[in-house]
Structure 1
Amino acid sequence: MTETLRDRLRGLPALNGTPPHGADPLAVHADPTAHFLNWFDQAVAAAVPEPQVMTLSTVDAEGIPDSRPLILRDLDERGWAFASSASQRKGHQLAQRPAAALSFWWQPIMRCVRVRGVVEQASAQESAADLARRSPQAQAGEEARGWTLYRLLPQRVEFWQGSPDRRHTRVIYTGSAGSWRVETSAGS
């Protein structure tokens, strides 16, 4: 009898990472930015490969989702910054529907951060400064394609701590800067 893909998938290990030692996943900060920076520092300390890489999800004109990996460029009170060429598919999608979702998956420590919100373009000066920070090879040809820095203004941020026993923990922020509502759940 031939092993099916479903059988192969069921046989693969899942959630076999190790949560950061001594970290309380329910330790809540006043805002999701501080919470993210704490978790990011823990991911770096745990030597998670490329913790700055996230999946950006947008929606096209027909409402079909589209996802791709990008690098978090910055995070501050103005939002979660990422960049791309405005002439590429994601730039067109953001122009038509200025909303997106971001997802970070840090497998070695079984953590995921998910962010949803509206997206705004940064100023032309900020986009040019971001492009100037890239290597000369990466800069080549980008100006003509419209290198653009974007900021996602979060409306919902979820911090998920996985557990091998499947008793996962979540901290969810909803609202906007200055008026966050926090909800926690453990063991779900």
Structure 2
Amino acid sequence: MTDREGGPARAASASLNPAAMRKQYRREGLDERALAAGPMEQFARWFAEAARDGLYEPNAMIVSTVAADGAPDSRTVLLKQYDRRGFVFYTNYSSRKGADLDGDPRVALLFPWHPLARQVRVTGTAAKVPPEETAAYFRTRPHGSQIGAWASDQSAVVPGRDTLDRAYADVAARHPEGVEVPVPPHWGGYRVTPHTVEFWQGRENRLHDRLRYVRLGDGDGDATGGDTPGWRVERLAP
């Protein structure tokens, strides 16, 4: 730690120069000929590899939204489902991200798989999943997580940790282990329908491979988001 004069801690921080932190990526490249027909199939391939390689929470993704005043905001959430329709995550609808998405459904996702020198970048639009889909997922959550969905007014300012602990204890007393917890009306899922999906593979000398699927508009093929024609692939300069 440091004293008020900054001594040892200041010296330590000065020695950590982020500009000098470099890694040489030496993994196999990404070739257009090896890509799946659609982005969700390609994502499934990479997601399986990330899980097989033992990455910690490979389903962790950064979700970026835009507020009413145009200010961007980002946070990490967990992907809970993906299929030909898109990517699904769950949250409190009254949270900051929920308020942002109510005003502007445009969203960006980022899967930062650093140990594999890979990223997946997604742009698209978010829409709430049907209530029955939310309920089906909610039933699979651990009891404590179900209680937490009721106890936390996500993104609201609270006086202290004790406020959260008391709220949790109150809900847990009403719904002890073994008693069904109802789905909170303010809690549920969003499905992000992708418009672009970029697969980024680190390569030597910073000449990375960046292949981006771009969803075609009406009249340009199947634009349902499926793994059939309806996407074009672009190579981007790194």
- TM interval, shorter chain, is 0.7 to 0.9
1:9 match? 18
Structure showing the higher helix proportion among its residues: 2
State the Cα deviation string for residues 104-163 of structure 1 (Å, max 9, x = none). 011111000000001111101111112111111010152446111110000000000012
2:30 match? 25
Distance in structure 2 (CA, Å) of the matches to 1:68 and 1:95 = 17
2:49 match? 42
Percent identity over the alignment is 36
CA RMSD of aligned residues (A): 2.2
2:86 match? 79
Deviation at 1:45, TM superposition (A): 2.0
Structure 1 runs not aligned, ≥5 long = none
Which amino acid letter does the alignment assign opposite residue 122 of structure 1?
V
Which amino acid letter does the alignment assign opposite residue 140 of structure 1?
I
Cα separation, partners in 2 of 1:124 and 1:109, compared to 1, 3 Å: same
1:183 match? 234
Distance in structure 1 (CA, Å) of the matches to 2:15 and 2:99 = 37
Q: Secondary structure at the match of 1:140?
A: helix
Mapped pair 1:162 → 2:162? no
2:72 match? 65
Mapped pair 1:115 → 2:155? no
User: What TM-score comes out, normalization by structure 1 length?
Assistant: 0.88
Structure 2 runs not aligned, ≥5 long = 1-10, 150-182, 216-222
Distance in structure 1 (CA, Å) of the matches to 2:14 and 2:198 = 31
2:5 match? none
Cα separation, partners in 2 of 1:5 and 1:36, compared to 1, 3 Å: farther
Deviation at 1:57, TM superposition (A): 0.5
Whether the 8 Å CA contact 1:15–1:164 is kept in 2: the answer is no
Residue range with higher mean Cα deviation, 174-183 or 66-75 = 174-183
Deviation at 1:9, TM superposition (A): 1.1
1:133 match? 140
Distance in structure 2 (CA, Å) of the matches to 1:29 and 1:113 = 14
Cα separation, partners in 2 of 1:97 and 1:185, compared to 1, 3 Å: closer
User: What TM-score comes out, normalization by structure 2 length?
Assistant: 0.70
Which amino acid letter does the alignment assign opposite residue 25 of structure 1?
L
* Larger-gyration structure (1/2): 2
Structure showing the higher strand proportion among its residues: 1
Mapped pair 1:174 → 2:224? no
Which amino acid letter does the alignment assign opposite residue 158 of structure 1?
E
Distance in structure 1 (CA, Å) of the matches to 2:189 and 2:23 = 34
Distance in structure 2 (CA, Å) of the matches to 1:144 and 1:45 = 34
